[in-house]
Structure 1
Amino acid sequence: MPKALTPAAVRNAKSADKRTWVRDGETALYVQIEPYGTKAYVVRFRPAPGAAQISRTIGKVDDIDLDAARLRAADIIRAAKAAPEAPAAQPKRIGGITFGECLDAYAAGPCAEIKSGALRIAAMKKHCAAWLALPVASVTIDDAETLVDRLKKEGKGTTANRVVAYLKHFGSFIAKRPMRAVPANPFSELDRVHREVEREVTLSIPQLACVWLASERLGRPYSTLYRALILAGLRLREVAEAPKAEIDTTARLWTIPAERMKAGRAHHVPLSSALQAVIADALPGELLCPSPKTGRALSGWSKIGDSMHKEAAAIAEAAGVDALPEGWTNHDIRRSVATALGEAPVYADRDTVEDVLAHSRTKLERTYNKSRALEKRLAVLEAWAGVITTEVERLRHSAEASAKPKPDVAAFAADLSLNNSEAARRAGVTEAAIRKARKRIAAA
């Protein structure tokens, strides 16, 4: 009889050459371990004798604890057994329906319920374009492996992993009712080809201040976008696509609805005084950051990023700040803000930082802790705004001082020749420069 899992057993479970599962006693909960080491809780069961096995991923081991995973598994099993069985559909003719037609059905079905469904379909149409007109039954795992291997060789390992995940889910959809376009999932044995490494790039507070000043050089709406990213620690699209209707300046609260949040839950952003000033300075219109050309939400991040990199690098050099990390991205700003909040001089506690970032808590925490801690978050964001705006002003003055032209000693040569050095002194020429100019005049 399998032993019940413990947190230590989950933590110490080792990966093998292929995907493995460790069962939680006699329950339907398993720890699924990938060859590259990632662990996730999954529930695998049959809702009735003879029924097809159902497999559902609950979440990564790092994101959810064992007790919460057990509760979630029980909820999934209970819901599956209570749901009425869907009426049987006539199998579609194998080989007749195309990959593209199946993809359209997939977009209207399972993907319509996924927050990132539209992005998933767009990625599949882009990378699987050669298959769209082919009979879906003619696309094999060999074709898929060729595709992901090519993406990996092009240096797109993370993209290759995403395509693997998309194809496996898509293959499961077309093999089950009501589609039944193929007898079995053709991509079920497809494996990831790239070991993903956590990104470590962070920008220091002076470097973030350089980004702030660079955005001011580009003008609105880019200054609105980047200053809001730095002050609130939000994701790029959460700011770039924000309508002003979400923001209540009287209540000092920005409420981002669930459909615009990655976690699918509404996020409340207390407005610091600095962020209120940024919002008040935004371009007129319904959007916080409208495109200057179209009036719609900003896009074209590669061009904007190139301009930001050049301007920020120039400001850093002029102000004597360490060069910004090569290839820094907009999302690195969010990581940098999170890091700065937890360090001197803000010293925010971990839970408050996670709340500011709108990171997901475990289901158990969400069930019992309904506090939004808005006052605590506002205090942290006000403190952070004070830190970053002070640094911005310091660098602004430093950059202006370095850009100020030096007094032209030669321009005062005539005055010096007449022994009228007072005008030169008033213009900022030093005594040493005056003496050198006199020597040159005497030598001439």
Structure 2
Amino acid sequence: MIPRKHLSASSLCAPVLAAAALCPAFVQAAAPDPSGSLFRSAFGDGLEADYGIKVNGWAQAGWTYNDNGSDDLSKQAFFNNDEGFNLNQVALSIQKEPKGNVVGRVGPFPGPMPEQADWGFNVTALYGKDARFFKTYGFDDDLGVNRSADANDENFNIAQAYLEFYIPVLGGSNLMLGVFHTPLENEIGFALGSPAPADFYSHTYSFMHGPAKHTGALYSFKLPQEEGGSMLGFELGLVQGWNNMQDPNGDPDVIANLRWRSADFRTWVDWENIYGNGAGDSFAECACGSPIPAGTQDDDLTRYASYLTVSHVLDERNRVAVEFKYGQQEDAAFAAFADKGNAHWYGADVNWYHRLADDLTWNSRAEWFHTDAPVHVVMANIDPQTGIPDPSWGSFYGVTTNLAWTPVPHVRLRPELRYDIHSGHGRDAYGGGREDSQLIGSFDVTVFF
């Protein structure tokens, strides 16, 4: 983060986007960018300076420990499954960002509309235990390196591969075509490679119950406005469901998002929605596709998910974000355990980010999440030997806090504590089905290059 004695556009933008790279027009003086530093030191900065093409990467690993004698962390420390050491992500990305006043999956930015069209692209390869959650059915699910991997092994995938176009129409427009991270949810969707925008090592139950990526098209645009006023943007997408390139039911899903920004850029409101047929798009053989199984490819079963996030920069050291979510799946595969046909999930989480120093941030999060029937494969607790589920559902409460320290720009160190309670039906959610609460401690290291 760029130190500022007063509140400026860059100090507002950086905590919201977790990187000043997304708002270069507002950055007056920047520290050396660790992203792409290894490639620049080896080959020079000509490719980036002359053509705007950046080659960058990151590596993330962490250690986790719980208080109940079980090594199962699958629900609470998502993405991590096992207690102990986890190699989460080793990634390499080559990208070119188009110049414009609209960033796909992020929203509109202040300033006049650039009159010149531009284009860009992003290809990101990912290896590690997190990679299995970013596989795309029909694209990288059947790679040889993944065939012998079980749920606790590292995977490899192409996390993103898309073209991007800035078009000077309306108040500014952006079109993405290809495979890209979802524009939904508070903890994902920025035009940056994970884990850069992730303020926590663990993730919310809301995040777990949403899509990770899509294949298709996403069109983002800014409405024309008077200079200096608030900004309103919209996103419309047509995609192959949740985490799929091939969707056996043959029906595309529709994404419709609204993004409002206050004139001073302090307050952001994002309402994000996806609607479509959720039948037959979850695949046990590759542990990929949608995490919410329902029916077969010949069925027509409605799936809908909606997220409303309001974030506000209180001052140069504090920001808060509140997320509300709702989802439903018609004829969910595990709903019969609760004597239901359809499953619904909803909840809220509150995040507070406090900058203690230029290189030290204290992040805290409280969440409540409820499912009226089991719906997610991770919550189903499927026995790997028998294939028989023993699901958990009801209300889940979680509190998380961490310190994120960047002693040098290339390195982030992050100790984190998380405490969860399950109050509901079915199997107890933690400790191998023996505990309804759990405390997890973790420490992760991320190196950017």
TM-score by length of 1: 0.24
Higher helix share: 1
TM-score for both structures, normalised by structure 2:
0.24
Larger Rg: 1
